[in-house]
Structure 1
């Protein structure tokens, strides 16, 4: 047995003084974890967070790779719970970069005195539900343990980084890393032969930046993406004042949209206007920053069919216009999935990179990677010699971070076994057989902070309801879970997000079941469903 955390005291944030058992244990100290600590503490509950990193921020702590930044507007991403915080924090850019974002989350942790509830450098090995006393026992890698009545897994939807199982990686003589674990000290890429595997959102951000300094860059692409111009810029003082004066309206607009972004679809069909009007709208939106060109478009652009293909061809032509070599351009033009079936990567000069003489695009669909050699990457066509190899190969999304912790519920069942064929939950929040456990990130999609705040609020209120009404446990019923799982399957089959082989359906991970990992419903619909469940005394949950 490990040492009890309640009996351990070491100075500093890394090992603070702790009592126990806690009312709520939170796994993670990123965007969701920090707000959960704040909200629960304000409700008078004892809280403790365990964070594997040596600093707070999670996503914005680990993803230090060059070019990492928001793709949603900075002023829509920050927390809304504190008017004082909103007024005193200045977002300097429309789409803020990783260093500033990490500073923001550290500022929040300090301002609200959250660090005393956070234990850093604390990797959770396993979490076990003690059916006798109704407490969750958290077992850390260093042998320490903690116990709590309620457990929130704020582990992130995209935190379990994935490196393909290429033969020979252990023999590579150069430096290598995954973008999700970029070294804190950085990587020396100047003048070197660098290979990047992956051209999703992360790869596109990274490639654009490092192409400015490497000696030679080889990009290994499996799937071309519909990347669109970010058009980032600095926020001038007058605009800053306007933003701060209009936060209530900004958040209201976000609350009303499907993905909690500030952009709202045009209610007209692309097919009901003239070709000239349609093209005029396409061009106008293309010139705007961020996701406007995706989420402010005609509504049926986001529905499989003729309108979607019409706009997809518009985007393909935009790509062709920017790449000088027509052969390379066609490799960069997506033809195997519909526009919007994957989250659209935003870029700042990505396509022009391929006009550089020192950049080579390798299509690994035409010539698959066979292995990693001591000198570089071997495809079926050639060996590419490299000094540095970077994996921008994405994440085992949503269930991946949960599955990397052994979480055992009633009867010793593990969440990993239960989720083997896809997540089985009610509203993504909780799973039958795992009482008092809230898998909070599994319920979130879209503009992340706008989605996570109401989720944390709902979970916090549910915990208070349990305690205030003399109960000790809240657990999903099997019937409610079955109904929700069926809803996700049936409704999910009709939406654009399931039409491509992306992380949304787990298709990027070999052997993972292909099912929608998030809710098929819009953010407003999900908030309404959660509110209805609560109003009916937590219908679908068993209270004991």
Structure 2
């Protein structure tokens, strides 16, 4: 790439136009900084712009999956159902962009391909795919934790003559599955949501499963007007409750061990939680992710539900997981297991029958050649670090972030917002924050407010250079690991640990102490003049 003359300089450059990017641009503009947002899509929405696959929904309840910092914003929007669809969430983000009047501060269809920190000038040079270079004092990654699609390295993509799609990069146009022979590869959250919907259209549907999932009913329903009116009249207390609970939403775990109740009592609790749906089930007891014995009670209950739902005993057993429940992202479904009772739906266990290659007509496994018109890859994301590495970010002395974190196997941050030797670079809901284990908009508001206040504090001191000291990074990373090692998260392969990416060693770059503890720590840092950061 040949360098062009920098056309524009900004105080703050924000990458991403989802929840994080919209709020970050708004806050920095309100604080008096010159700020410019950049987004590779043609409009706002972030991950919800791309996640258009059939059945796409949020797993946080919609009345909590929104901004709460603004009374006016909160009152003007009305959600239609308990779990909002992708289309409704995208409409909400367009509404937010218009209400906050921030679209004028964004450039769309602009993709970052590299970013370099210049020590001598104390600024960031950000390179775009069209060859332009833009400079800024502060570089903010608002790219989300799940935005880099993971396409598995299966040979033969170029020879498949049908159409293939990835759930994380779905076309804007509707995909027609009518009278088609369809394959879905992957049974994570997006697969579990898409499979029942695709099955209603397809002539035949073959599901290729690597790992079975614990799926609990979502039990979605349309909100009644009186309920919505009550929610809108109670914004302050709901916001306070969201900020005081581990998950960032009022559905919080019962402070009871599964082992403190009898089997009969547990069955009643689990059945109630199953019927309520959503996060009520994984929060039924407070030790499901700490005690192997407690976890086994929840896992056993779900396996019993699978066996009673799926009529074919062999298929039911293939659908029954054996790892720890909820150590992967909890999944909420709408008719997933029931779909396998349909005569045109079949299941292939790729651990027993691995995929070898895509052919001209479909998929060749070690046992069978399957012919398909369309293939859907529901293979998830390179989570937490993937979207950061994709931008090819280089800090002090030219070291890349990917090198600094050893390709994601040795992630180290301070509070999930910054890392050493990358001055003036900040991450919203970055690694070693609690973000992916909680209601994301709450985490985003707190992170953006923290980063904005940190930079404003530097400005008050007459400085424009902010960086974190290495000791703070090291200590925080050790704290995150110490807490995580008490849990079952680290004993289970998942996108949390990065093991969904081929040849990546397990790591767990998430703070699991809960949002109230995290916010308390951040507030302590603020009260002590942003302890752990230095300005110059």
TM range (shorter): over 0.9
Q: 1:489 touches 1:515 (CA, 8 Å); kept in 2?
A: no
In the TM superposition, what is the alpha-carbon distance from 1:167 to its structure 2 partner?
A: 1.1
Q: Please list every run of 5 or more consecutive structure 2 residues that lacks an aligned counterpart in the other structure.
A: none
Residue 187 (structure 2) pairs with residue 199 (structure 1)? yes
Q: How many residues align?
A: 529
C-alpha distance in 1, partners of 2:418/2:233? 38
Name the structure 2 match of 1:90: 78
Name the structure 1 match of 2:454: 462
Residue 215 (structure 2) pairs with residue 223 (structure 1)? no
Name the structure 2 match of 1:516: 508
Residue 317 (structure 2) pairs with residue 325 (structure 1)? no
Name the structure 1 match of 2:105: 117
Query: What pairs up with 1:36-115 in 2 under 5 angstroms?
Result: 36-115=24-103
Q: Which range moved further: 401-410 or 437-446?
A: 437-446
Q: Which range moved further: 254-263 or 392-401?
A: 254-263
RMSD: 1.3
Name the structure 1 match of 2:373: 387
In the TM superposition, what is the alpha-carbon distance from 1:168 to its structure 2 partner?
A: 1.0
In the TM superposition, what is the alpha-carbon distance from 1:302 to its structure 2 partner?
A: 2.9
Name the structure 2 match of 1:506: 498
Name the structure 2 match of 1:299: 286
In the TM superposition, what is the alpha-carbon distance from 1:511 to its structure 2 partner?
A: 2.2
In the TM superposition, what is the alpha-carbon distance from 1:487 to its structure 2 partner?
A: 2.2
C-alpha distance in 2, partners of 1:44/1:79? 21
Q: Please list every run of 5 or more consecutive structure 1 residues that lacks an aligned counterpart in the other structure.
A: 7-19
Which of the residues 475, 497, 514 maps onto 2:467? Answer: 475
In the TM superposition, what is the alpha-carbon distance from 1:3 to its structure 2 partner?
A: 4.0
Any idea what the Cα deviations from partners look like across 1:359-389, whole Å, max 9, x if unmatched? 0100011111111111111111111111101
Residue 416 (structure 2) pairs with residue 428 (structure 1)? yes
C-alpha distance in 2, partners of 1:140/1:271? 55
Name the structure 2 match of 1:257: 245
In the TM superposition, what is the alpha-carbon distance from 1:250 to its structure 2 partner?
A: 2.2
Name the TM-score, length of structure 2 as normaliser: 0.97
Name the structure 2 match of 1:351: 337
Any idea what the Cα deviations from partners look like across 1:396-432, whole Å, max 9, x if unmatched? 1111111111111111111111112331211111111
Which of the residues 174, 198, 201 maps onto 1:210? Answer: 198
Q: 1:169 touches 1:372 (CA, 8 Å); kept in 2?
A: yes
- State the SS of the aligned residue for 2:207: strand
Name the TM-score, length of structure 1 as normaliser: 0.95
Name the structure 2 match of 1:126: 114
Name the structure 2 match of 1:35: 23
Q: 1:422 touches 1:514 (CA, 8 Å); kept in 2?
A: no
Any idea what the Cα deviations from partners look like across 1:237-271, whole Å, max 9, x if unmatched? 11111111122222222222222132121112222
Which of the residues 160, 180, 185 maps onto 2:173? Answer: 185
C-alpha distance in 2, partners of 1:75/1:157? 22
In the TM superposition, what is the alpha-carbon distance from 1:301 to its structure 2 partner?
A: 2.2
Q: 1:422 touches 1:513 (CA, 8 Å); kept in 2?
A: no
Detail structure 1 runs of 4+ shifted over 6 Å in the superposition. none
- State the SS of the aligned residue for 1:60: helix
